[in-house]
Structure 1
Amino acid sequence: MQTNLRKCVLAAAIAAIAGALPAAASEVVGYYPGWKSDAFAVTAANVDAGRLTMALYAFVDVCWDGKHGNPEPTVNYVAPCQEPLNGALALRDEAADGANLRALVALKQRHPDFKVVVSVGGWDWSNRFSNVADSAEARANFVASSLRLMRRYGLDGIDIDWEYPTEAGVPCVAGETCARPQDKRNFITLARALRAAFDAAGKQDRKHYAITIAAGGNANYINDAGSSAWIKELSRSLDWINIMAYDFHMPWEKHNGHHAALYADARDPVTASAFYSSGAVQRYLKAGIAADKLVLGVPFYGYGWKGCAPGPDGDGQYQACDGGASGGVNGGNAYGFSHLLKQGMLTPAFEGGAGYRRYWNASARVPYLYNAEEKIWISYEDQASLQEKARYIKRQGLRGAMFWELSADGEHQLLRTLSDAMRP
């Protein structure tokens, strides 16, 4: 009798502890592109908060020397900061971004489990992270500014999209410093300061403030001076890591390839370096990151190559090409899922159209399109590949899925598929 009583007391205590902690969940995390809000407004029709667990608002910048942005010629954007402190957060357009954030937060009225988080940095705006993380004063400003922004708009956390510590993606302009050998150690210090401040603020505000990051899927990102120990140390301050498991192949490469393959394909040269989604996940697991701290990123867009010969199988796959195609969004080489449908390259039945034929790679578990007459080859994501990735996420016990980005799936075909597939 006493043994049974002790078991009941112990079970109640465990349940109480579990109820006090943030619950692990099948996350469905989607980026909202703030700079597209004129054409893709924050509405219940565009942002399906009932199927999302979190929206990441892209992007917020950081201030340095009173300015924010990136003077590098391909970005060519510099503006004054609203809060001119080194490390303080900076909105691109205070009125527009503020209105977007309020509209996103308003969706929580009907969907209280939906979270809104600002994503700081991104490809264009990662040029000041190294400076901020290397300065105690700037780190303190970053933390304080983050708290002010969250409380001002009723946000639920911060996502750090640093691309990349020790290795800036966008080339740094002359006279500037955009990367340092100590970036990854400094990242740990910054994340610890955020975690301590967010936990203290959470107690005051009676809520949990999340800290997530967008992280690379390659070995260069995970390792630091030959060791992966840093990423495990960093993860202790994070709610989870969003793995950017896409862009494994890019249109400037001389040969085409799948940009978000789930599994290896021996015919793909990058297979040897495990440059595919499941390979990226396994790298993090081997580095000691718990599965429930990993969210697998998936793309709601594709890439196109031109001048690709049919090859021995007649499908244009893994062939030499003449560079990026120009039939994508705004005449570029990126093909959002909605764009493929609108242009008739995909039919409503999600088969090829307008001269394109849809193929399926049974090894990589991803689709592709090929137009033999125009010699255009497109790597993209569809319902079938998302279902494959959802099954993988569940088998591995991962935290969930993240995608880039909402406007590429204007009618929610992919979001519906992903959301349904992620359900228990």
Structure 2
Amino acid sequence: MRLPDMIRSRRRSAGALLGLLLLTASCIVAAHDAPRQPRIVGYATGWNAAQERNVDQLDMLIFSFAKVSDDRVVLDDDAAQRLQTLVALKERHPKLRIAIAIGGWGAGGFSEAASTEAGRRAFADTAAELLAMHRADGLDVDWEYPGFDDAGIKASPDDRENFTRLIEAVRASLDRVGAREGRSGDNRYTLSIAVADGRFVRDIDIAAVEPHLDWFNLMTYDFVNSMTPTTGHHAGLHAATQAPADARSADRAVRQFLGFGVPARKLLIGAAFYGREFGDVQPRHQGRYQSFGRYVGEHPWPKLKAEYVDKQGYVRHWDETAQAPWLWNAETRHFITYDDPQSLAAKAAFVKAQQLGGIMYWEQVHDTEGELLDALAKGLR
């Protein structure tokens, strides 16, 4: 080969190599920047073997609940056994992740543990060791709520600052124990919090805790309940026309957290696999946002479908504005608010349109046939 030909050949080879390197780099960047498929995360107090056919639709099950006792995170024997039933699912479904939730409504000990450095260290270290002991994959802190004693738990004006310190301590302990267990990168222990919107985040510094969290589980349900003055959509995606100006809804919660600076991909909105019934309801607007005489209680989805939806005088209605169903019994003046496959499809479309992190729900044992989980999976995937 003559010298000029050799030079041209080397130039072509170098150019081809550079092109290959650029293509590879662009693919890596594209893969890194590509939006993650929305998560489906379910809280679970237990497990029904018949539900296993739906497991592969899930990204994570969050076992509920571990408790706080003398600043330490603990599981009693019954809870530990129920947790292990969930963890065992990973042997047959290796993509499934299991987290442990600490707390829940009426569970105290948080304000006390968070109030001192020693308490925060004990909480964080025992929580991280609990994950390692039970082969779990993440932690969900469900303090309901910092600064509020509505549930009969202790609260303090210092909860806002101490909650941030507690989350920082937990993240540090998870990383330390995770490193010991060989968990890093995409396989590190995850940390989330279950959090409400509106006034219930008054004593949480969202901007300060956000960098330490993998995502927020927004409890966008229970907007109306036994303690609210009226009925309404307890899990509405948007505010109904009849709702008061300050009514809570999923989209308003999302806007609130985006306003705090939380990335959209870290927000999971909540879905309710149960309904709430009210009695002696004033009849305007078929019971929507009306005063009531008594709170009747909760009904899981299978019971709603089998005994209430268009049965026994309960008529199903659809609120196009709120994107939510409700049942109204004109004879007994009973009102039921709930989520169903249609409202879950609307929430899934909202999540995709807003590029949110996904949907979580309460709770797994309320969906024995997997109908609601199927609706979420179809809508999100």
Task: Give the TM-score, by structure 1 length.
Answer: 0.80
The answer to whether the Cα contact below 8 Å between 1:245 and 1:297 also exists between their aligned partners in 2 is yes
The answer to whether the Cα contact below 8 Å between 1:211 and 1:240 also exists between their aligned partners in 2 is yes
Residue aligning to 1:90: 74
Mapped to 2, the partners of 1:306 and 1:117 lie a distance apart of: 37
* Residues 1:370 and 1:9: Cα distance change in structure 2 (over 3 Å): closer
Alignment of 1:327-366 (within 5 A): 333-342=297-306, 344-346=307-309, 352-366=310-324
Residue aligning to 2:51: 45
Residue aligning to 1:156: 137
The answer to whether the Cα contact below 8 Å between 2:223 and 2:233 also exists between their aligned partners in 1 is yes
The answer to whether the Cα contact below 8 Å between 1:253 and 1:323 also exists between their aligned partners in 2 is no
The answer to whether the Cα contact below 8 Å between 1:30 and 1:56 also exists between their aligned partners in 2 is yes
The answer to whether the Cα contact below 8 Å between 1:246 and 1:260 also exists between their aligned partners in 2 is yes
CA offsets per residue over residues 302-324 of structure 1, 9 Å max, x none?
1111112433x5x2333332121
Mapped to 2, the partners of 1:275 and 1:15 lie a distance apart of: 37
The answer to whether the Cα contact below 8 Å between 1:292 and 1:399 also exists between their aligned partners in 2 is yes
The answer to whether the Cα contact below 8 Å between 1:43 and 1:103 also exists between their aligned partners in 2 is no
What amino acid is the match of 2:277? G
Which range moves more in the overlay, 180-189 or 390-399? 180-189
Q: Answer yes or no: is 1:58 the counterpart of 2:64.
A: yes
Residue aligning to 2:42: 30
Mapped to 2, the partners of 1:252 and 1:278 lie a distance apart of: 22
Residue aligning to 2:376: 418
CA offsets per residue over residues 121-178 of structure 1, 9 Å max, x none?
11121x2101111111111111221122111110001100000011133124xxxxx1
Post-superposition offset of 1:15? 7.0
Alignment of 1:242-253 (within 5 A): 242-253=217-228
* Residues 1:129 and 1:8: Cα distance change in structure 2 (over 3 Å): same
Q: Answer yes or no: is 1:114 the counterpart of 2:96.
A: yes
The answer to whether the Cα contact below 8 Å between 1:262 and 1:278 also exists between their aligned partners in 2 is yes
Post-superposition offset of 1:9? 5.6
What amino acid is the match of 1:293? K
Q: Answer yes or no: is 1:308 the counterpart of 2:281.
A: yes
Alignment of 1:9-24 (within 5 A): 10-11=25-26, 14=29, 18=32, 24=36
Mapped to 2, the partners of 1:98 and 1:282 lie a distance apart of: 37
What amino acid is the match of 2:19? N
The answer to whether the Cα contact below 8 Å between 2:67 and 2:74 also exists between their aligned partners in 1 is yes
CA offsets per residue over residues 91-140 of structure 1, 9 Å max, x none?
2x31x222222221111122111111110011121x21011111111111
What amino acid is the match of 2:219? M
Structure 1: any 5+ residue segments left out of the alignment?
Answer: 35-40, 65-86, 173-177, 326-332, 347-351
Post-superposition offset of 1:44? 5.3
The answer to whether the Cα contact below 8 Å between 1:365 and 1:385 also exists between their aligned partners in 2 is yes
- Say which of 141, 165, 176 aligns to 1:189: 165
Aligned-residue identity in percent: 33
Post-superposition offset of 1:42? 4.7
Residue aligning to 1:77: none
Residue aligning to 1:258: 233
Structure 2: any 5+ residue segments left out of the alignment?
Answer: 1-14
Q: Answer yes or no: is 1:320 the counterpart of 2:291.
A: yes
Mapped to 1, the partners of 2:190 and 2:313 lie a distance apart of: 46
Structure ID, larger Rg? 2
> Over the residues paired in the alignment, what is the CA RMSD in angstroms?
2.3
Mapped to 2, the partners of 1:4 and 1:46 lie a distance apart of: 48
What amino acid is the match of 2:301? F
